[in-house]
Amino acid sequence: MMKILTYNELYMKKLLFLLLAIVACLGMTQAQVRVIPCNMLRINAQTQDWWPALQITVPTKNSCAYNLWNTYYDQDVFFVCGDGYLWAMKGGYFGSDSSLKKNIMPIKNALSLIKDLQGVRYQYKEVDTINVDEDYRLGFIAQEVEKVVPEVVKTMQDGKKAITYTDLIALLVEGTKEQQEKIDQQQTEISALQTIVREQELDLIQLRNMVYDMQEMMQNCCENTIPIIRKDTFSPQNDNYNKIQSNTILYQNNPNPFSSNTEISCNIPITFNKAFIYVYNLQGIELMSFPILQKGYNIVNINALSLPAGMYLYTLVVEDKIVDTKRMILTK
């Protein structure tokens, strides 16, 4: 004959079954939750890879999954938002001590790698496509970055790829250094070429003066007058010496830009008597003037201490007529 259980007996059996289920679960995960004497909550969970030791479920994207309120500051200092944003009041530190690392090697060809990276503007996909208010973000596509710098890309347990953006900082720093080395090398080459051009100009001026002196001697010695090619007819910037060019030339200052001193050179034909070089600021106010007292090739020295850093104009005026104007830059 079947025994009919009373209400109390049925309730006790259900409670016993629930306790057995809890014990079974605890035995499976070997988890412990306890409060130790210093009022700290300790969780000891042994789970499989990628299994959560502590899981929090929130109902909306703006729900706060974790919040740390500091009574010292009397405000939030750290929280994790339900839509995946992480916020920390003072930023974060990542382990980077040398004792934590091995097989340390310098980054090479960083500039070439940076050129192959493609930055993008994007929005995150929203579950609710009707109310899309996600702001645009700046970043990279992990699959594209993986082809260039696989070291900074990790594949997560669900197959999605993630980027350690902080690792890219080292790549950017080394790329900037490589670029600066190229700039310095090019500047050295430019300075060397400017020196060569200057030396060639001086050689051409000397040759021009020698031709002038020789023709003067021939004219004095011979009965027939030989047409004289005057000093000012040869331009240091013109290789065709058979063409007579009676012009006045204002050269670019050297060096330019400059931080200490610079030289402005000009060529004044012997047929002119009065010449000046004027220095102006960009507002057209005259700051300096230098009289040109001799014919032919002249050099004017400008000391950087006499001017503040900036851009200036200098003009060659011969017989009260402007011949040419150029720019120069002073850096300090």
- Per-residue pLDDT reduced to its tens digit, 271-302: 777 899 999 998 888 999 999 988 888 999 99
Same domain, 215 and 195: yes
Q: For the segment 133-171, what is each residue's pLDDT rounded down to a tens digit? A: 678 999 999 999 999 999 999 999 889 999 999 999 999
Q: What's residue 278's pLDDT? A: 95
Q: Is residue 201 part of a domain?
A: yes
3-class SS at 66? strand
Q: Using CB atoms within 10 Å of the CB of residue 266, give its burial: 0 to 12 exposed, 13 to 18 middle, 19+ buried.
A: buried
Q: Is the pLDDT of residue 220 over 70?
A: no
Same domain, 156 and 219: no
Residues 6+ apart with CB under 8 A from 135: 123
Q: Is residue 28 part of a domain?
A: no
Q: What's residue 23's pLDDT? A: 47
Q: Is residue 69 part of a domain?
A: yes
Same domain, 229 and 254: no
Same domain, 272 and 324: yes
Q: What's residue 243's pLDDT? A: 29
233 pLDDT band (50/70/90 cuts)?
Answer: very low
pLDDT (average), residues 56-81: 88
C-alpha distances in angstroms, 187 versus 111, 192, 199, 331? 19, 9, 18, 15
Q: What's residue 16's pLDDT? A: 54
Same domain, 261 and 324: yes
Q: Is the pLDDT of residue 213 over 80?
A: no
Which of the given ranges, 16-20, 45-49, 173-177, has the highest pLDDT on average?
173-177
The position carrying tokens 């006499």 is 306
* Continuous H helices in the chain: 7-29, 110-116, 142-148, 167-221
Q: Is residue 26 part of a domain?
A: no
Residues 171, 173, 178, 182, Cα dihedral to 10°? 140
Same domain, 259 and 318: yes
Residues 6+ apart with CB under 8 A from 299: 263, 264, 265
User: Burial code of 235-253, b = ≥16 C-beta within 10 A, e = fewer?
Assistant: bbeeeeeeeeeeebbbbeb
Q: Is the pLDDT of residue 7 over 60?
A: no
Q: Is residue 32 part of a domain?
A: no
26-40, 173-187, 295-309 — which is least confidently predicted? 26-40
Determine the structural domain holding residue 185 and report its residue range.
177-239
Q: What's residue 323's pLDDT? A: 86
Q: Is residue 172 part of a domain?
A: no
Q: What are phi and psi of 228, to 5 degrees?
A: -95, 130
Arithmetic mean of pLDDT over the chain: 80
Q: Is residue 216 part of a domain?
A: yes
Same domain, 253 and 282: yes
Residues 253 and 309: their CA atoms lie apart, in Å, by 16
Same domain, 309 and 272: yes
Q: For the segment 27-59, what is each residue's pLDDT rounded down to a tens digit? A: 444 557 777 777 787 888 888 888 888 888 888
Q: Is residue 119 part of a domain?
A: yes
Residues 6+ apart with CB under 8 A from 249: 235, 236, 237, 266, 267, 324
Model pTM score: 0.52
Q: Is the pLDDT of residue 80 over 70?
A: yes
Query: For the chain, what percent of residues have pLDDT higher than 70?
Result: 77
**How many domains in the chain?**
4
Same domain, 254 and 324: yes
Same domain, 182 and 229: yes
231 pLDDT band (50/70/90 cuts)?
Answer: very low
The position carrying tokens 């007292």 is 293
pLDDT (average), residues 109-114: 93
Secondary element (H or E) of residue 139? strand 137-139
